[in-house]
Amino acid sequence: MLPTITVADVRRVGLPPSTAGLQPAGGDVVLNVPVNVYVQSAQVTRDVQVLGFPVTIRATPASFTWTFGDGGSLGPTTDPGAPYPAMSTTHTYTRPGTYPVTLTTTYSAEFSVAGLPFEPVDGTVDVASPTATLTAHAGTTVLTR
């Protein structure tokens, strides 16, 4: 009998956290100006042995959830965003302070036993990225020529 892979098995082999992109970079942002957030992630393949059979697990980022530390969140969304000038995934801080920003990637997975066609794994796996810290500052803008 061929093995079946579960979400617990996928968690056990481990999936990498996505890389969170924040713009402007450096951790300092201005109140009432959108902060661009985006994700760098890719499909992950793991080859393992289960009950003596070669098994390939393929996990694909399915959605992303951001929490911004000020009560705001974004997602889950399938849009990974992109570096400036894309600005399709943003958050605007309205109060000064220092805020933890977290990104959670939700992976869907499938598996293949001994080269047979891939089958879906029931459920998903959430992987948190390292927390980043942003400090929102009050400021004024000045137009120059």
How does pLDDT run across 18-68, given as a tens digit for each residue?
999 999 999 999 999 999 999 999 999 999 999 999 999 999 999 999 999
From residue 87, alpha-carbon distances to 73, 79, 82, 83, 96 in Å are 16, 11, 7, 7, 22
Residue 145 has pLDDT above 80, yes or no: no
Q: Per-residue pLDDT tens for 58-99?
A: 999 999 999 999 999 999 999 999 999 999 999 999 999 999
pLDDT of 142 reads 77
Average pLDDT (99-107) is: 98
Q: Is the pLDDT of residue 143 over 80?
A: no
Q: In what order do the strands lie in the sheet with 35-40?
A: 19-23, 35-40, 90-91
pLDDT band of 139, cuts 50, 70, 90: confident
Global pTM?
A: 0.91
What is the mean predicted confidence (pLDDT) over 95-115?
97
Nearest to 129 by CA among 100, 96, 93, 103: 103
If one compares 131 and 140, the residue with the highest pLDDT of the two is 131
